[in-house]
Amino acid sequence: MNFLKYELNLDGQDAVKVVLNKQANVRLMDYSNFQAYRNGRRHTYYGGHATVSPFVVRPPHAGQWYLAIDMGGYGGSVNASVSVI
């Protein structure tokens, strides 16, 4: 599975702004859910299928977070820029 990965240390008031060049899945996960995602197992995340850009997702609490951006199994690739706001 191909995906873009970002490791983020977020405060409780932070949000993550993702600018995409096309539609893609944007998933913000904690470590255990990110490991499950990487291994193709069930996982929970914040975000979803981004059809508009920029796409903003907020964590429910402060901590270490992992952002994965993928095409959901479809061909092609996506370019993204990520910033904490």
What is the torsion angle, in degrees rounded to the nearest 10, for the CA atoms of residue 41, residue 44, residue 48 and residue 53?
-100
Please indicate whether residue 72 or residue 24 has the higher confidence score (pLDDT): 24
Task: Report the distance separating Cα 74 and Cα 11, nearest Å.
Answer: 33
Give the three-class secondary structure for 37: helix
Contact (CB, 8 A) for 18 and 57: yes
Residue 59 φ/ψ, nearest 5 degrees: -75, 155
Q: What's the pLDDT tens digit per position in 12-30?
A: 899 999 999 999 999 999 9
Q: In this structure, what token pair is assigned to residue 30?
A: 């904690």
Domain ranges of the chain: 4-84
pTM over the 0.95 mark: no
